[in-house]
Structure 1
Amino acid sequence: MGTREVYEEKLRTGNLYHDPTIKPGLGSPRCPRCLSLVNPNSGEGEWAITSVLHDAAAVAGSGAGALLSAVHGFNTGIPFIQKHVRGSKWMHLLIGLPPLLLYSGASAAFGAYVVPKFTQLTVTSYYAASSASHYAISQITRSIEEAHSSRSLQDKPR
């Protein structure tokens, strides 16, 4: 960390990537709810989650997808194999494990793709709604102030 002058110098030189702060104008902006870094200068000008939050969401999505598909596969796939294949329980497990692993892997990959996209959607929607509400409130406030100032000018005695 450092003083305000150090941050302003880093801001001018463009070397603020590794030293963010919550104060506006002195680093990368942060989400007011989760304090994760948010980058408003992504390619198309929309709010983008940082790589750390993207990676964390990908890991969570991958784990959740694999776990849920494994539970579903064991609860539905193994009884299906037991019904159609005669033999010991080891035989059922030996036959059912490869499709179960493929199903879990596909679900983990799908979860690792979908959860970061959903996180991006929620962050973008939050900032869009926030900026839209600020704009509407400022317009309403401006019209009230104009009406009040014009009324007070009319009420002044001459």
Structure 2
Amino acid sequence: MADRASPSRCSRCPNCSGPLSKDVETSSWTVAPLIRDSFCMIGSSVGGIASAFYGFNHAMPIVRRFVKGPMWLHFMIGAPPVIVFSSACAGLAGGAVPALAQLVSSSYHAAMASSSLAHSPSQDDTIHKRSSSPL
């Protein structure tokens, strides 16, 4: 147990600061579940509302041009495609916003970890000695 080094020092690649063990990847670099779920809800609502406005502003003039009749008929024909488009955009934004938050968080941690670690030539020598590949 004495030979295990601290996760912040030796278990990161000195070139890219990427985690070299699974424990480091899931400890301090991930966004907390509460924040991730909050970003998921925010992304879903913003994506759904924005795509609904976009869909109705672009689909309804086309429906009005091709379908003659009362306004309720235009909405009966034009609303289902807009609802499908809106829910697809809400789902995409609900997944993209938390993924973007995770990317920003891990990039920030990588930048801070790489700037705080001193890059010494002895580390380069040990890496080149250990990284022998049969290929």
- What's the RMSD between the two structures over aligned residues? 2.0
1:78 has 2:52 as partner: no
Q: Which residue pairs with 2:10 in the alignment?
A: none
Secondary structure of the corresponding residue to residue 80 of structure 2: helix
Q: Which residue pairs with 2:30 in the alignment?
A: 48
Q: Distance in 1 between matches of 2:23 and 2:77?
A: 49
1:95 to 52, 74, 77: 77
1:109 to 91, 102, 114: 91
Q: Distance in 1 between matches of 2:56 and 2:77?
A: 12
Secondary structure of the corresponding residue to residue 55 of structure 2: helix
The percent identity for this pair of structures is 35
Q: Distance in 1 between matches of 2:30 and 2:116?
A: 20
Q: Distance in 2 between matches of 1:88 and 1:58?
A: 38
Q: Give 2:94's aligned amino acid.
A: A
1:67 has 2:49 as partner: yes
Larger Rg belongs to = 1
Counting matched residue pairs gives: 98
Q: Distance in 2 between matches of 1:56 and 1:110?
A: 15
TM-score (norm 1): 0.57
Secondary structure of the corresponding residue to residue 24 of structure 2: coil
Deviation at 1:45, TM superposition (A): 2.9
Name the structure, 1 or 2, with higher relative contact order (CA <8 Å, separation 6+).
2
Q: Give 1:71's aligned amino acid.
A: F
Q: Distance in 2 between matches of 1:50 and 1:119?
A: 11
Q: Give 1:54's aligned amino acid.
A: R
2:110 to 125, 128, 133: 128
